[in-house]
Amino acid sequence: MQSQLEAVDLDGFKLPVYGRPYSLVFCAGSPHVDPKTLRKEMMCGCAESLWRRDRARRVAGDGGRGMQGVYGADEVRRGGEAVKAAGARGGPRAPGGNSASPCRALSQRRRPAHHKAMRGWLVRCAGWWGGGARSRLRWLAALLCWGALCALALPRLQPPPRGGGARPHPAPPARLLLQSEPAASTPATPPPLPATDTRVLTEEELRADAERRLPSLPLAYWHKHKDDKNKYYKKKECAPFPSIYDLDFHNTYWQTMHSSEGVFHLYGAYLDVRNASRIGPAVRVLTVHDRIKPTLATHCQLWFEERDAPVVVRNLEYKYVWNSKWGNYRDRVLQPYLLACVLPAEVRHLVPASVSIVENPCDRATNNLRVHYDAPRPPAQRKEFAVCVKGLDFLHEDLSVRLVEWIELVRLLGADKVFFYELQVHPNITKVLEYYSARGDVTVTPITLPGGQPNLPGLQHMYLKKKTTHKRQMELIPYNDCLYRHMYQYRWLALLDIDEVIVPLEDADWSGLMRRALPLAVPAEGKPPRTSYHASNLYYLDSLQHEHSWEEGVPRYLHMLQHVYRTRNFTKPGQYVKAFHETERVLALHNHFPLACLGGACSSYALETQHARLQHYRADCVTALSKTCAELRAAPVRDTAVWRWRDALVARADAALRALGFLPPHR
């Protein structure tokens, strides 16, 4: 497009136009004109202007020669031809006998109405501009009005938004920008996300969590040596160090070894370096085996941090943790045993990291147990008392408040810590256990039944209620695990249920009771030293309390403080007793007595009934005493011996129950 501007005289007003006719501004701005028609009309417009100028110059006497100096020969020639062609078609004549502009008729005949209006407007504007100062003012006012009309009309001529949606809201006034658009300077607050746990544990944290959940797994030791190619016995095919991914796990907490003479389910391994042991330092392995009197030669592959190759020794013994007279004494029934892997002289000063039980020395093991050795480091001293509780089985029975009362009472009496084993419990009991675990007062260890015994909630409870002998045998696993894991930390262990407590009658706590009993329990000359001190059983039955009213001054929800009526007589000597076991001497524990002891026979001392007794809070007598229970219940006795700790117990139990949300805070 040519950029040079020319001036065309239009009725006395010199209108600036581009050098080419089709570049007129007032024509090119219209989107509704056909290009061919537009070109013709523009040429006519130019020709008309040239014709007018030519006529004026002829009058002046230059014959039109000046036109070529301004526009050029081609433009003049095309303009003249257009004028002649328009005149040949009979254009109108100008006043005074001269022919009017030949293109004017064509323009009036071909141009749309809005073009005519625009041309007329320009002509009038030109007249106004040439009429003096007053006309110029009218011209300026018209321009201002035209600009205002365009400013108002342009927003309405904008196309609607896509999709046919509503028009956007107008922008707020400038004085409201800071209030209405805070996001202009500050990022918008994102909507809240769901309350999920977004933590991602590292590999080290995952290992620590797995070791906490499964204490028998030597995960840290395996991770440190998993890429060690030299951990085998004599040759690579003989006793290689097993990967944890090749272990035969069973019911979560057990590992399995299949032999030519039955199956072994292994639960835990413990280093025993007690002075009373005649075999010297040894690793004890707690297991169940489906044979009685096993004769199979098994071997222990002992792994050390300081050695690449394992130390392989033969299992010394199968210590039977049961009595054949109590039932289930037959093959194909899982029996509890303690295995003994004696450390050779060259490694007796070392602590094994893990142990595997195999049938032949070079076998590739399918089990690998961490060896527990939790001796306190100097100058730490052994504490006095801890309590071990067998697997809790209270899935549909909410004993949470009774459990709080019992934990607070045994801690008042001197228990430093209570070690619980858990099968299936009510959610409120779980809440209580978590509360005391967070305080460091208890430790909870989940456990399952080995072999083909059920572990499904509900079904497991029915099984244990029906199969009482199987239940008694399986209870020995947590009891002995508790002994071997804590025998270096505590001098005395008491195996108690949560409905029974050993109550001292003349002393403030268990420490005072044992200081009183030890001089009295010195054995006769030639007799083995004492290994346990047991208290005789006395029942506090619910049915005895129901025959009487509530006790005043004691919260009704504290079961032991409310039940102060007991049977007149103790059960027979040695029946249903509970004891304090000396951890330095006992080898294998049962609910009531030690089954085996180090250095010789076991010897249990019966605490004088005027010094202490086992207060057993039950709904009724045990099934085995059903024939004599009526005699025991005859003539009950009101006995408030436990009220000696009433004030402290009520205060501590209420504080715990309020913290747990079981009591209103204002109480």
CB 230 within 8 A of CB 250: no
pLDDT at position 64 is: 41
Percent of the chain with pLDDT over 90: 59
Residue 428, H or E segment = helix 427-439
Per-residue pLDDT tens over the stretch 118-130: 455 444 545 545 5
The DSSP result for 145-210, as a single string, is HHHHHHHHHHHHHSPPPGGG-PPPPPPPPGGGHHHH-GGGTSPPPPPPPP--------HHHHHHHH
pLDDT at position 120 is: 55
- Residue 351 pLDDT more than 90? yes
Instruction: Determine which of 194-208, 231-245, 329-343 has the lowest per-residue pLDDT on average.
Output: 194-208
At a CB cut-off of 8 Å and minimum separation 6, what does 460 contact? 393, 423, 424, 449, 453, 454
- Residue 62 pLDDT more than 70? no
pTM: 0.72
At a CB cut-off of 8 Å and minimum separation 6, what does 572 contact? none
- Residue 168 pLDDT more than 80? no
SS3 594: strand
pLDDT at position 17 is: 42
Q: What is the mean pLDDT of the chain?
A: 81
Closest residue by Cα to residue 351 from 417, 306, 411, 291: 306
The span from the CA of 244 to the CA of 242, in Å, is 6
Closest residue by Cα to residue 656 from 409, 295, 408, 410: 408
Which residue in this structure is represented by tokens 């009058």? 59
Percent of the chain with pLDDT over 70: 74
pLDDT at position 96 is: 41
Q: Summarize the confidence of residues 299-319 as an average pLDDT.
A: 96
The span from the CA of 585 to the CA of 598, in Å, is 5
Q: Which residue has the higher pLDDT, 87 or 228?
A: 228
For residue 160, name the pLDDT band (cuts at 50, 70, 90): low
pLDDT at position 494 is: 98
Per-residue pLDDT tens over the stretch 246-304: 999 999 999 999 999 999 999 999 999 999 999 999 999 999 999 999 999 999 999 99
The three-state DSSP-derived secondary structure of 438-507 is: HHCCEEEEECCCCCCCCCCCCHHHHHHHHCHHHHHHHHHHHHHHHHHHHCCCEEEEEECCCCEEEEECCC
